Structure 1
């Protein structure tokens, strides 16, 4: 028997987001493919991490994170969502929101289980499930408002279904699930006794007066919801890899143990930096983040419209999906590469977010850029229309 890679190797080929980032670098273009937020890192976050390093906070922490961070997360959830969270038994700090999700899947799901996933989806969710031998089952959201019905959920559920993933605000569609829609999901989850894994990493990027509703706050949802979020986006520290899960203590302990197995702990001084950010930054900071990105959304979507790439205007997060079928090519990848070659602006083929053919008509653009960079990108795109 010869040496070979594992059977799961084919599941984790480089993502289209990374592929387009590489292609963008090759031509020296503007990268609107990767979801990197160009906000400045808040001063309390930087200062807190530096002070922690100098004070000697450079060793292993408890598997679920430092007390300061867990308390700060619990306090923040109470202020913004009304959740009553015990920092001693319900919070697990991990290596980013993706790390929290991975540890939660290891702790709560088994090989052969099925999990319902709304599409368009975030690829890391789907690949994580597949790599663990868990089957994603897709429920397609219908544009322009990315709607679904209770019957759509019922059509997808089987006796092997164990959970549903809810990403709100969503990447890549920018959908903010309403309280009414979450009520449908809550009733469905309760009737079939399912976990609901949430990804709320964009919770502070919500536009046009909408509100982010934490699914765990709905009646009957506290015990079955695994609330997942992090600091990469709102504090602009994607490279710090720091996120968390909040859930019932019965689930938090095994999630924490798997977090310990895979990651040991999140980086200690960076935990302190984010704790200080949560403690010192008030509502004005978060509202400013939202307002800034709403303004950029409006400018960018107007530009896409002006060149015939009709955008689906997002309700939250910092991406827009646009119809790119007017560009030469037969696939989303060909459309995206043509756009890059002609303008030097990189986007992600919509096929990265869909199982079926719908994605071949779309591309995702990230507009969370410094204004001068975004203006340059928009000027380049407008030349395509001229």
Structure 2
């Protein structure tokens, strides 16, 4: 059979590759972004209770009502936005599905979608599968700041969407209120839509504030805002997130969502709703929790040859390795696994053109002993 691929540039994700290599080599895995510690015990217990209670059949398409209500309360509490519970919130099996459904619902053949590189690797395939054309704007070290004049220059009559991500994976940068205002200036008086990937919304450090599009009514009126329970509650394998969008956009997203997955894991939704009801302020504990881990890793690497870039959000730390090696980043991470038994992620796969920056990404969502052991090994390279 002669099968022509629809995604000729797509292979195995770098996360799958490096995690598999870490397992094979029994290396410390600082590559893929998942914790090696347990989520909140009350939440884990709530899941078991939800299963035993019989919450094991299909949930409503938009989500279990009591979870949707908790999402609305959370958005109001954290960002001051009132939501129409029935028509502006959709629970999805992971943020990636929400992003895919939003793109599929609104991007047509020939539409252009602006993406900021380095970018999470699901954006471009979603665009291309729907006939869209990714338009890549590069963000470069050390600050990875957006050049808004460059964004203006990239806008054409075919621009349908802009995808943003703050706090930003893989760089750990966080947008300022001025960035949201600049984005609003760019899209004002256009029909351009926005996907705002905010899965690390509660992981913002050093006194900064997460500038959610939920805070910005002008942008929120044209945006799909995507969040992740897995990142917030340390349960990435639960694959549960949600999308907040105006009713007209939500209606279109649900048309796709119902035929991609239809609904999300029922007992997990009940468990999340119960925990959010009992512990509504849990996300407010996360900045201090993760700052301690970020700073622990930084302290462990202070005598190494790595230069740490600022990490103001997410649970990722970029390090510049150019004082150690002139290898391309995809070769350097293999060297780390082979020689010292630590797995990291190269930055170049996050760029459409494979841009070499001399940086790699480390995940610090790990137990303290894991961080200490990894740092000790990294100081030996």
Report the counterpart of residue 344 of structure 2 in structure 1.
347
Report the counterpart of residue 96 of structure 1 in structure 2.
94
Structure 1: distance between partners of 2:23 and 2:3: 29
Shift of residue 128 of structure 1? 2.1
Q: Calculate the TM-score normalised by the size of structure 2.
A: 0.95
User: Does residue 374 of structure 2 align to residue 377 of structure 1?
Assistant: yes
> Cα–Cα, structure 1 residues 329 and 241, in superposed 2: closer, same or farther, change >3 Å?
same
Shift of residue 329 of structure 1? 5.3
Structure 1: distance between partners of 2:143 and 2:275: 34
Structure 2: distance between partners of 1:245 and 1:175: 22
> Cα–Cα, structure 1 residues 10 and 303, in superposed 2: closer, same or farther, change >3 Å?
farther
Shift of residue 47 of structure 1? 2.9
Residues 194, 223 of structure 2: 8 Å contact kept: yes
Structure 1: distance between partners of 2:140 and 2:357: 15
Aligned-CA RMSD value: 1.7
Residues 44, 280 of structure 1: 8 Å contact kept: no
State the number of aligned residues: 381
Shift of residue 144 of structure 1? 2.4
User: Does residue 47 of structure 2 align to residue 25 of structure 1?
Assistant: no
**Unaligned stretches of 5+ residues in structure 1:** none
Q: Residues 327-351 of structure 1, C-alpha deviation per residue, up to 9 Å, x if partnerless? A: 4453111111111112100001111
User: Does residue 289 of structure 2 align to residue 292 of structure 1?
Assistant: yes
Q: Which moved more, 1:369-378 or 1:123-132?
A: 123-132
Report the counterpart of residue 326 of structure 1 in structure 2.
323
Residues 305, 379 of structure 2: 8 Å contact kept: no
Residues 119, 351 of structure 2: 8 Å contact kept: yes
Q: 2:334 aligns with which of 313, 333, 337?
A: 337
User: Does residue 108 of structure 2 align to residue 110 of structure 1?
Assistant: yes
Report the counterpart of residue 256 of structure 2 in structure 1.
258
Structure 2: distance between partners of 1:150 and 1:246: 25
Q: Aligned runs of 1:130-209 on 2, under 5 Å? A: 130-209=128-207
Q: Residues 201-256 of structure 1, C-alpha deviation per residue, up to 9 Å, x if partnerless? A: 10111100000121132141222011101111111111111111110111112211
Structure 2: distance between partners of 1:11 and 1:71: 41
Q: Which moved more, 1:351-360 or 1:98-107?
A: 351-360
User: Does residue 235 of structure 2 align to residue 237 of structure 1?
Assistant: yes
Structure 1: distance between partners of 2:341 and 2:179: 39
Q: Calculate the TM-score normalised by the size of structure 1.
A: 0.94
Residues 39, 235 of structure 1: 8 Å contact kept: no
Report the counterpart of residue 70 of structure 2 in structure 1.
72
> Cα–Cα, structure 1 residues 90 and 58, in superposed 2: closer, same or farther, change >3 Å?
same
Residues 173, 310 of structure 2: 8 Å contact kept: no
Report the counterpart of residue 227 of structure 1 in structure 2.
225
Residues 229, 243 of structure 1: 8 Å contact kept: yes
Q: Residues 38-72 of structure 1, C-alpha deviation per residue, up to 9 Å, x if partnerless? A: 34222332233222212221111111111011111
Residues 163, 195 of structure 2: 8 Å contact kept: yes
Q: Aligned runs of 1:260-275 on 2, under 5 Å? A: 260-275=258-273
Structure 2: distance between partners of 1:27 and 1:308: 23
**Unaligned stretches of 5+ residues in structure 2:** none
Residues 229, 241 of structure 2: 8 Å contact kept: yes
